[in-house]
Every structure is written in structure tokens, then in C-alpha cells.
Structure 1
Amino acid sequence: MMYAEIIGWGKCAPPAILTNNDIATFMDTSDEWIVSRTGIKQRHISHVPCSELARVATERAISCSGIDAKDIDLIIFGSNTPNEMVPNCASKIVNAVGATNATGFDLNSACTSFLYALNVGTDMIKAGSIKTAVVIGMEKTSRLMDWGKRDSAILFGDGGGAVVLQATEKELGLIDAKLNLVPNTREMLSLPGFGMDMADEDYKTYYSSLNFDGQEIFKHAVRGMQEACNDLLSRTGVTQDEIELFVPHQANRRIIETLAKRMKFDLDKVVICVDKYANTSAGTIPLALCDALEEGRITAGMTMLTASFGAGLTCGAGLIKWGERTKPLEDSEAELPPCNQTALEIIQPSIDSAKKHYESK
């Protein structure tokens, strides 16, 4: 039987940082209020399209793996925030990194996009369809934020990462996954009137505003991830004590801590980086993986559990067996174009749009 080892990894967080104090300059909030409720201290704001963030993360992952881009068979771009609806964003990344023998497609399952894409890429390798794949989780959520809504605007940030998968006969990589959809929860987290539904809207007056039912999302997120984790562990015969590292979706520190407590994981076994990046949606798990590797928290042969949830409401869990290598084979020179604006300056047009929208109501 074939498996799909993670042989390369790379992240990209844009340089402009928006602190809680920055947000407090135009919104009725404070650093203390945000940190106490979410654990978030800052978020990165991108000056470039999502595809450019993905290009950098992918090039870094390729360098880390030591392979040639021409050896890649498939690139899966997991995201809610592609540059455009048509063509897919994956094709842009395929061209940008020189993966001339690869095909590619986008996958949108909200915040669970990376986990779902990792499962798809792994299964294609297990089936023998391909040998090498890149799986990306990347977002530019700041472009869609309603900066007049405190409950949701404070939560999100830009960035993400990518991993390289390669066929192996060793039992490594994503060993198994449990993916779920919670019935009748679509409206709890949604961006209405977008996509083809916008055909019924006045394009000139359309205003992007996220529907976000925080209390219900919290409840379903914790329950959904816990059930997915327990089902997966039961199916694979792995006990909770055998899990050496837990890498959950970084939506909110309260959610992470509540889930860890229910799963009986000590926090020193849990990767938490939501304070640095906020919720980067599909980007949180690859960012957390890269940070854990940089910090030396992932060791050869480690058994890991990951879990995620997102709009839909979708949720899932994945059991990962790490390989021997925890250091990049090659350093990458991939970088974003220079940023000449502060985070506040980048989002100022959106802040002005929010102000105008709410003043007209």
C-alpha cells in the first residue's frame, strides 16, 4: 500500500501587521477586550493577492523538500479567497512556480479547506494516480472583512502555508481522516449575496458583510471537532495517550482550550499560534505546522492529530505520522514584493467603505 509522506513545508505571512490597538483607532474595542475573548494579539494584512502569498509558500515548501518543481503532478489550492472565480487560482500557482508537468484545482471548504485538500491529495497518491502533490491552505480574508462588525472583524488575518506530499511505502503522512458536515448550520457562518447570487444585487451598492453567529459556532465547532477526533481515533485504533502533538484550527484560543480539555490533552501538547496570526481560515493548520517545526516541537516519527471546522458547517480530523526529517533540505529565496504601506493604510479603503455603509443605514 502507498502512503503520502509530508516531505516539504513552507509558510507565508505578509509583513504588514495590524495590532489590536490599531483596530481600536477606528472601532469601539481594545487590546484587553480582544485578547480576553479570543487570545488574538495581532493579525497580518496582505498587500498582494492570495495567489502571490501561495506562490511564496509553495516555493518555500518545494525548496524544503529538495525536489524539482517539474516533478510535481498536482497542486491543490485550498482557500475561500481566490483572486478570481475563473480560471482557478491553482493554475496561476502552477505557472508561477514552474510546475510544468502538474495539473491543479481549487478546493473551497471554508476553514477546513486545507484538511480536506490534504485528504484529497493523499488519497490520489494512495490510489496511484500521482506521485507528488503540493497542498496549499492560504487566505486573504482582510479583503472580505466588514470592518464595521466588531464580532467578526477582529478575528481574521491573512496568510497560510503549503506542504509537499510524496508517495512512499512507509506508513507516513496523513494516515486517515474523518470529514463531517453538520446538518442545517449553513447560515451560522456565511457571506450572502456573493458569487452568482450577486446577479440579483445592484453591483454598485453591494456590500460584503459576513454573517457570524459566534455562540452557535463555538458550540458546534467544539462538538464537531471532538466527535471527528474521537471517531478517527476509534477507527484507527490509536489512543489519546499515543497522540504526541495536537494541531487544531486556530480560530479562537477559547475554542482551542475547550477542545483540548474535552480531549484530555495538556496544553503543552497543543500548538497555539492564534495570538500571532489570528484566524487565517484555510491557512491556520499549515501555519501551525510550520511554526511547530521551526520551534522543534515536531520530531521524527511523531504521531499527530489535527482538527478543523469552518463554514458549512464543515469539520474534520486527521491522523498524521511524521517522517524522519524535520529540517529543510534547501533554503528558499522566495519573497513577496516589498510592502510600502502599514496594515492600517492597506485596509483604509475598506474601513471607509464600512463607515459609509453604516452611516447610510
Structure 2
Amino acid sequence: MSLTILAGAEAQAARSVTSDWFDRRLNRPAGWAEATTGVAVRRFVDGETASDLGTRAGAEALARAGLRAEDLSAVIGASGVGEQPIPAFAVLVHRKLGLGNSGIPAFDMNATCLSFLLALHHAALMIAAGEWQHVLIVSADIASAALDPDDPETGPLFGDGGAAVVLGPGPGGVEAFSLRTYSTGAEAAWLGAGGSRLPARDLPALLAEATFRMDGRAAFRVASDHIGPFFEDLLARAGWQRDKIDLIVPHQASGRALDLMVRRLRLDPARVMRTLHDGGNLVATSLPTTLIRAMEAGRTPPGSRVLLIGTGAGVSLGGVCLTL
């Protein structure tokens, strides 16, 4: 597929929270939170909404690409948890970018932590078909809105942030895409509130499921059982050899999950881009943020073979083989 990433930008949340804050709150020894999660510092919003972060990242990405918002063919939202059920997150960003009367389509694609991969693949198809010219993919997740800071498994792991990329026709492209779901792990990561199953008139039930909960070990088992064959099949579809991958951009699930992926897939650690330490798990915003930081660090020169890979609630595995 003919595709290039014209530019990308991230939008960091305002408040920096170091892991020693969680050590004290959870009454753990110094260094416990960082050693357990792999996160030294994460950022939380201070009054900003997800669409605020997404708009800030999107506007900066457009400026770096030398485009106006009016030049876009579409705005795709790719967040793990939307700002609200209706209308779509992308619609809120669309309006804040000044596109309210433009008619440019705006919609969301949600595969939890893998939403960016789904949006990237769809945009690539539409650009290759000649239907679209330039596409803005925007991710923003405010994990802190549903976190219990006293939960030692989730509280210190997640952060808030926004990221956006501008795509257009070019010499690169998506060489392979795969998404597989193993719904035996559907309850391993759960946020029950916010949909029609728990209507607002039943406030106690709504509040009871308004906090994110995760069984990391259960998700870990499902992902580890399937990641090897998934990886081999994805590379076969692209016609790539493991040692020919220039950079691996993984979802920053946790320090232990990243370490397991490197071991299980026999990856060169020097080719794995890691941002977890300085931001935490940003849900769906994790993958585009890590890709943007790799681009800014000069790790994705033209012609690079980049593998984006990760897991999401469901449990799902997703990957894109991308030539830049």
C-alpha cells in the first residue's frame, strides 16, 4: 500500500506523578512501584479532557506536516476509552480543530489498546484505494479517570496522554496486518460503566463498575499462549525475516510484559522501543506515542521496516508490519 507518515505529535498531561508517591500511598518500600511496573513517572491530567489532549496533539501534527485541518480527508479517533459514549471522540476533536461545518468525516475505531493499529490499517486501505488523501489519527486516553490509586496492580501502571499522526500517500506502506481475539480472556481487563448495560438510573450499579479492574496474570497467560504463532504468521504475511526488522514498537503494557515479549519472540532488545519508564501504560495512546518518540529520536529513517505489535483487552493480539 502507498503510505507515508507525514508527521506526528504527542500531548502530555499536565501533572507528573513519580513512583515514590505510590510507594508511600500503598505503604510499600521505596522503589517498589517502579520495580513492579517498570514505570518511574507517569502524567495525569489536571482538568483537561481527552479531546483537549487529542486536539493539541492533532493541531501540532498538522502543523509539522504543513497542512491545515481543512486539507484532511478524515479524522479517526483511536482511543481505548472514549471521552463519552455519544458523540464519538473524533467528532469532539473535529469540532475543536475548527472543522464543525466542513463535512469532513470523523469517527472512532475501538480495539482498546490496539485501536491505533486498526485505524492505521483502515486509513492505509482508503489512501491506497484513492478514496482519501490525508488522514489524521488521534488517540487520547485519561486512564486516571477510572483508576483506583489504592489498587497496587493498576494504580501505578497507567498514565494519561494524547498522540496524533498525519498520514498521506507515499513510498512506504502496510505490508501486513493481523488482529486476533481470544475472548476467553474477556474479563481479564474490565470497565463496566459507561454503556447501556448499566443505565444511569441504576446509580449504585453504575458506580460499582466505574473503576477499571484488571487480572494481569490472566491476561498475561492468554497473550503468552498465542503471541508466538501470531508473530510468526504476521511476519510470514509480510515476507519479513525476524533479523530484518529495523525497529519493534510494542504496546507498553508493563515492564514484565515487554520483557516476556522480547524473550518469547527472541527479539533483539536494542531494536525494541520502550517508553513505559517515562509515561506508563497509556492504553491505546501507548502505540502512537512510542512510534512518534521513535521518529523524533531518528530511529525510523526512510525505508525502515517497523513492526507495531501489542495486546489489548479482550484478549486481543494485534500487529502491523510497516515500511516507512
Residue 18 of structure 2 is matched in structure 1 by: 19
One-letter identity of the residue aligned with 1:209: T
C-alpha displacement of 1:31? 4.7
Provide the secondary structure at the position in 2 that maps to 1:62: helix
Contact 2:273 2:290 in 1 (8 A): yes
Summarize the alignment of residues 77-96 of structure 1 with structure 2, pairs less than 5 Å apart: 77-96=77-96
Which whole-Å deviations, capped at 9, do the CAs of 1:306-355 have from their partners, x for residues lacking one? 10111111211111111xxxxxxxxxxxxxxxxxxxxxxxxxxxxxxxxx
Instruction: Write the distance in 1 (CA, Å) between the matches of 2:195 and 2:28.
Output: 31
Go from structure 1 to structure 2 and tell me whether the alpha carbon gap of 1:16 and 1:94 turns closer, same or farther (over 3 Å shift).
same
In 2, distance between residues paired with 1:113 and 1:239?
26
* 8 Å Cα contact 1:61/1:163 also seen in 2: yes
Deviation of the 1:156 alpha carbon: 0.7
**3-state DSSP of counterpart to 2:24:** coil
Scaled by the length of structure 2, what TM-score is found?
0.92
- Contact conserved, 1:107 with 1:113, CA < 8 A, in 2? yes
**1:147 Cα deviation after fit:** 2.2
Q: Does 1:271 align with 2:270?
A: no
Counterparts of 1:1-361 in structure 2 under 5 Å? 2-47=1-46, 48-99=48-99, 100-168=102-170, 170=171, 172-199=172-199, 202-203=202-203, 206-207=207-208, 208-322=210-324
RMSD: 1.8
Mark the runs of 5 or more structure 1 residues left unpaired by the alignment: 323-361
Q: Report the residue type matching 2:311 in the other structure.
A: F
Contact 2:81 2:112 in 1 (8 A): no
User: 3-state DSSP class of the match of 2:237?
Assistant: helix
* Alpha carbons 1:248, 1:307 under 8 Å: kept: yes
Preserved contact between residue 57 and residue 163 of structure 2 (Cα < 8 Å): yes
Q: Which amino acid aligns with 1:26?
A: R
Distance 2:29 2:299 in 1: 32
Deviations 1:103-135 (A, max 9, x none): 110122111111111112112222332121111
Q: Percent identity?
A: 27
Q: Give the CA deviation at 1:227.
A: 3.2
Deviations 1:8-31 (A, max 9, x none): 111111131111112233323345
Matches of 1:295 and 1:30 in 2, distance apart? Answer: 34
Gaps of 5+ in 2: none
Q: Which amino acid aligns with 2:59?
A: E
Provide the aligned length of Structure 1 versus Structure 2: 319
What is the CA–CA distance in structure 1 between the aligned matches of 2:2 and 2:112, rounded to whole Å?
Answer: 26
Question: Aligned equivalents of 1:83 and 1:11: distance in 2?
Answer: 18
Residue identity matched to 1:7: L
1:35 Cα offset (Å): 1.9
Name the amino acid aligned to 2:81.
T
